[in-house]
């Protein structure tokens, strides 16, 4: 069935059902940004005491909705991290918010929808797990991720009591209605109860539930019952007074990710990663109703104060209101709360932008109004392993899985695989799927990329150890490059489409000439966390913990020019500015706010940063006219940046300055007298950096200080700068970045013994 989606865009622009009390695409923007698209994934929801407002804590801040007219009235974005903890004062006049990687607690005046005060956490505390008001709203009690219970004076904004509890980690948390008791649960199956007003632990139920993840917790209104949702698809009820288990409830077919009690405590609700909500009778412990309607897992549940409405938030981006008596949905309250944005592309007309979520759902946005024009769901799945847009935003390629995904307290996720789908190619201007030969490929693709002229689709197929590419129009396979490493990869074409480069975790960076199908990878290139080609095709850049390496591309090959040595952390995305004079670098550092770092290409000088996302940045894409930069993030949003203003500010800030040259000269490859000497250098490096290879039965494991990798039989293992290929005869081909490579066997004590085979590269 053919549908003219671009024609529908014009109609949808007139008939948009979403109405805004304010243009929240421009609220709380960082310097240099002109719009924010998307609302961030849903972490927590709470109704105001009178039920007239719904507060939604997301990955970018707090959204406040007026329930009677179903309109959003405020977006509080002053947080630098996720909002996983929110609480209304009992009179409904103050809202408190905090969360993961978020070093502050904000208090909001709900009469004016404005910031009341900011409570700053200690320097070593970066996350708040839950909040509750006490003592007639004069006290705010918080539980941080280190297990400390803090009491704050609401009027003076000062901390008045700091209770240091027994150190423990946890992944789920709940607080009783009266604020006197906290419950925590972790991925080891341990549940603990804490008194919120003194240093006293009530109970530790680790021995009873060890080995099963606790994903959700909730107290009954009288705090006599604690319900725990678990990874094993069950719900356990606990008697908090007798410290004993009451019952195990079965019925969910996926991990239970959300739990909530209404005020009367006669029933309670549970939601799972498989899109289903269930209502249970507390006394009989029997299922009361099953609520179906969401298209992805349930992230949050909450009841109104009268218990007549249940609100559910989902990874599908919607909030729904249900009648708990009948099990019927009242309405879909809002949309747009996407969890993760994986890809972005500008249309050539300069007025629309396409985004792809982690589910493979595509949304098309009007860049002038900031409003969503249409949603393309034909490629939807539970988790998209690989997604890519053509450079004109007309075609979309993806491969996805069916199964369940859970986003935990920390904003990360883990995935239970169901079934693997095929690589699909869609024309999003018509809604038609393009028939292609790669649909019959068995196994998954962990990277997809279109050539700049939009005529070629390339895919990395780990199970085949190949990178393959096809002509989209004819379906003819154009090339097939051998890439034996089975780890995650990215694919990047040069701007003229003549070169194709790959990189990924523990994967050797490779570069091919597409026309001649030759491997032109420089011999001393290191494993790259990100890579990019300059617009003029003369420079190749890749990110490494030791810096950003810049290389010249000439007719004779690729030669390292130097590296930006004051680069900090792991680059997750690199791209050049339209004029090629600035390189943009994103850093995926979990302990602080993600940044877009700007560097001068000629000198390596630091030109400043752009900040505004709260989680890792997935893409950096410039519009076709070079005036707008789009950055997409795991926080579920896209930020649009005015590149002309950013460039002008850089020029003004650096006017008259003489840039200090921070480009280190190229590293000279180490020359060894022979392979035995090189093998000794490899062994010494492994020992110095605490790497060890072990074999147990037929399984090989590479262990480092903070990581490990293993494989059964032959295969590849890697960690950091180390990559090891193991053949069926037990020969280990070890490659250490910047040191060298050699072949080894393992003796009975798992010591590496040099084996004089040809160079592993």
Name the strands in the sheet holding 276-281, side by side, starting at the edge strand that comes first in the sequence. 256-260, 267-272, 276-281, 287-292
- Position 644 in a domain: no
- Position 593 in a domain: no
pLDDT band at 409 (very low <50, low <70, confident <90, very high): low
Q: What percent of the chain has pLDDT over 90?
A: 48
Could you report the per-residue pLDDT of 130-171, keeping only the tens digit for each?
999 988 899 999 988 877 888 999 988 888 877 766 656 778
**End-to-end CA, the chain:** 51
The whole-number pLDDT of residue 257 equals: 93
Q: Do residues 57 and 41 touch, judged by C-beta distance below 8 A? A: no
Measured at the CA of 316, the angle between CA 318 and CA 21, to 5 degrees, comes to 30
The whole-number pLDDT of residue 403 equals: 81
- Backbone phi and psi for residue 759, each to the nearest 5 degrees, phi listed first: -55, 130
The whole-number pLDDT of residue 12 equals: 37
Q: Is the pLDDT of residue 727 over 60?
A: yes
| Least confident window among 76-85, 93-102, 629-638 | 76-85
Query: In angstroms, what CA-CA distances link 67 with 53, 61, 62, 71, 698?
Result: 5, 19, 15, 7, 60
CB atoms within 10 A of CB 321: 17
**Secondary structure of residue 11 in the 3-state scheme:** helix
Final residue belonging to a domain, choices 164, 191, 223: 164
- Position 635 in a domain: no
Domain with 738, as residue range(s), is 675-754
- Position 725 in a domain: yes
Q: How far apart are CA 666 and CA 688, in angstroms?
A: 24
- Position 739 in a domain: yes
**Secondary structure of residue 462 in the 3-state scheme:** helix
Beta bridge partners of 143: 130, 149
Q: How far apart are CA 686 and CA 564, in angstroms?
A: 26
Q: What percent of the chain has pLDDT over 70?
A: 89
Q: How far apart are CA 339 and CA 41, in angstroms?
A: 4
Read off the tokens for 253. 């077919």
Q: Is the pLDDT of residue 266 over 70?
A: yes
**Secondary structure of residue 322 in the 3-state scheme:** strand
The whole-number pLDDT of residue 588 equals: 59
What are the counts of helices (DSSP H) followed by strands (DSSP E) for the chain? Answer: 4, 66
**Secondary structure of residue 696 in the 3-state scheme:** strand
Final residue belonging to a domain, choices 145, 164, 183: 164
pLDDT band at 760 (very low <50, low <70, confident <90, very high): very low
The whole-number pLDDT of residue 13 equals: 31
pLDDT band at 355 (very low <50, low <70, confident <90, very high): very high
- Position 715 in a domain: yes
Read off the tokens for 42. 């849903």
The whole-number pLDDT of residue 398 equals: 93
In sequence order, what E strands does 568-637 have?
571-576, 582-587, 595-600, 606-611, 617-622, 628-633
Q: How far apart are CA 7 and CA 16, in angstroms?
A: 14
Could you report the per-residue pLDDT of 469-517, keeping only the tens digit for each?
999 999 899 988 887 665 667 899 999 999 999 987 667 789 999 999 9
Q: Is 658 exposed, middle or buried (0-12, 13-18, 19+ CB in 10 A)?
A: exposed
Q: Name the average pLDDT for the chain.
A: 85
Read off the tokens for 18. 């979403």
The whole-number pLDDT of residue 147 equals: 78
Read off the tokens for 745. 């066997």
Q: Do residues 633 and 615 touch, judged by C-beta distance below 8 A? A: yes
The whole-number pLDDT of residue 463 equals: 74
Read off the tokens for 285. 């412990």
CATH number at residue 89: 2.130.10.10
| Least confident window among 213-222, 455-464, 686-695 | 455-464
The whole-number pLDDT of residue 21 equals: 38
The whole-number pLDDT of residue 505 equals: 66
Could you report the per-residue pLDDT of 574-603, keeping only the tens digit for each?
999 999 999 999 975 544 678 999 999 998
pTM of the model: 0.86
The whole-number pLDDT of residue 757 equals: 67
| Least confident window among 429-438, 561-570, 622-631, 736-745 | 561-570
Total domain count, the chain: 2
Final residue belonging to a domain, choices 106, 136, 164: 164
Q: Is 668 exposed, middle or buried (0-12, 13-18, 19+ CB in 10 A)?
A: exposed
The whole-number pLDDT of residue 413 equals: 66
Hunting for tokens 């926080």 — which residue is that? 635
Q: Is the pLDDT of residue 568 over 80?
A: no
The whole-number pLDDT of residue 165 equals: 66
Q: Is the pLDDT of residue 17 over 60?
A: no
Q: Is the pLDDT of residue 182 over 80?
A: yes
Question: Can you give the three-state secondary structure of 710-722, one letter per residue?
Answer: EEECCEEEEECCE
- Position 372 in a domain: no
Beta bridge partners of 96: 87, 107
275-299 mean pLDDT? 93
- Position 102 in a domain: yes
Closest CA to 498 of 509, 510, 513: 513
640-651 mean pLDDT? 95
């Amino acid at each position: 069935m053919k549908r003219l989606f671009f024609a529908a865009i014009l109609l949808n622009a007139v008939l948009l059902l979403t109405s805004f009390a304010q243009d929240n695409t421009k609220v709380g923007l960082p310097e240099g940004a002109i719009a924010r698209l998307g609302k961030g994934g849903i972490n927590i929801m709470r109704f105001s005491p009178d039920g007239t407002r719904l507060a939604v804590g997301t990955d970018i801040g707090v959204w406040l909705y007026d329930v009677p007219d179903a309109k959003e009235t405020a977006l509080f974005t002053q947080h630098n991290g996720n909002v996983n903890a929110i609480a209304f004062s009992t009179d409904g006049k103050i809202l408190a918010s905090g969360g993961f990687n978020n070093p502050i607690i904000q208090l909001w005046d709900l009469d004016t929808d404005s910031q009341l005060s900011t409570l700053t956490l200690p320097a070593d505390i970066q996350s708040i797990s839950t909040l509750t008001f006490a003592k007639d709203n004069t006290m705010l009690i918080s539980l941080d991720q280190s297990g400390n219970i803090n009491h704050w004076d609401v009027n003076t904004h000062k901390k008045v009591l700091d209770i240091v509890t027994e150190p423990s980690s946890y992944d789920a948390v709940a607080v009783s209605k009266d604020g006197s008791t906290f419950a925590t649960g972790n991925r080891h199956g341990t549940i603990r109860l804490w008194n919120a007003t003194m240093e006293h632990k009530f109970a530790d139920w680790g021995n009873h539930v060890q080995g099963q993840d606790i994903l959700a917790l909730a107290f009954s209104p009288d705090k006599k019952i604690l319900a725990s949702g678990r990874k094993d698809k069950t719900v356990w009820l606990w008697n908090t007074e007798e410290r004993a288990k009451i019952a195990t409830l079965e019925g969910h077919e996926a991990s239970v990710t959300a739990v909530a009690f209404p005020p009367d405590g006669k029933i309670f609700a549970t939601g799972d990663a498989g899109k289903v909500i269930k209502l249970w009778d507390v006394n009989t412990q029997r299922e009361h109703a099953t609520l179906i309607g969401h298209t992805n897992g349930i992230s949050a549940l909450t009841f109104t104060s009268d218990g007549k409405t249940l609100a559910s938030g989902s990874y599908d981006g919607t909030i729904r209101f249900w009648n708990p008596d009948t099990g019927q949905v009242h309405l879909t309250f809002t949309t747009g709360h996407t969890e993760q944005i994986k890809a972005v592309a500008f249309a050539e007309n300069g007025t629309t932008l396409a985004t792809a979520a982690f589910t493979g759902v595509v949304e098309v946005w009007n860049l002038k109004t900031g409003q969503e024009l249409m949603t393309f769901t034909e490629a939807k799945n539970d988790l998209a392993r690989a997604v890519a847009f053509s450079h004109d935003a007309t075609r979309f390629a993806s491969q996805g899985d069916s199964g369940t995904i859970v986003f935990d307290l920390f904003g990360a996720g883990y995935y239970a695989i169901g079934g693997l789908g095929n690589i699909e190619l869609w024309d999003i201007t018509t809604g038609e799927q393009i028939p292609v030969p790669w649909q019959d490929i068995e196994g998954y693709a962990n990277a997809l990329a279109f050539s700049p002229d939009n005529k070629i689709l390339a895919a990395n197929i780990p199970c085949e150890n190949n990178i393959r590419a096809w002509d989209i129009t004819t379906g003819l396979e154009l090339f097939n490059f051998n890439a034996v490493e089975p780890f995650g990869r990215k694919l990047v074409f040069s701007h003229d489409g003549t070169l194709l480069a790959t990189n990924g975790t523990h994967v050797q960076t490779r570069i091919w000439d597409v026309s001649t199908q030759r491997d032109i990878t420089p011999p001393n290139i290191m494993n790259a966390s990100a890579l990019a080609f300059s617009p003029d095709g003369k420079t190749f850049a890749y990110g490494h913990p030791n810096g950003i390496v810049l290389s010249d591309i000439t007719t004779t090959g690729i030669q390292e020019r130097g590296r930006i040595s004051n680069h900090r952390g792991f680059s997750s995305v690199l791209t050049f500015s339209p004029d090629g004079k600035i390189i943009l670098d994103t850093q995926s550092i979990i302990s602080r706010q993600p940044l877009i770092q700007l560097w001068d290409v000629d000198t390596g000088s630091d030109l400043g940063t752009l900040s505004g996302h709260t989680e890792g940045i997935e893409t950096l894409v410039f519009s076709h006219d070079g005036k707008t930069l789009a950055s997409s993030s795991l926080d579920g949003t896209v930020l649009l940046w005015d590149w002309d203003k950013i460039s002008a500010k850089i020029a003004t800030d650096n006017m008259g300055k003489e840039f200090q040259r921070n480009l280190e000269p190229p590293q000279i490859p180490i020359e060894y007298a022979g392979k035995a000497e090189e093998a000794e250098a490899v062994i010494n490096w492994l020992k110095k950096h605490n790497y060890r290879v072990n074999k147990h039965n037929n399984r090989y494991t590479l262990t480092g200080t903070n990581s490990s990798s293993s494989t059964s039989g032959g295969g590849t293992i890697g960690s950091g700068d180390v990559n090891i290929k193991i053949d069926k005869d037990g020969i280990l081909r070890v490659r250490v970045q910047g040191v060298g490579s050699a072949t080894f066997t393992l003796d009975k004590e798992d010591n590496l013994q040099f084996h004089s085979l040809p160079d592993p590269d």
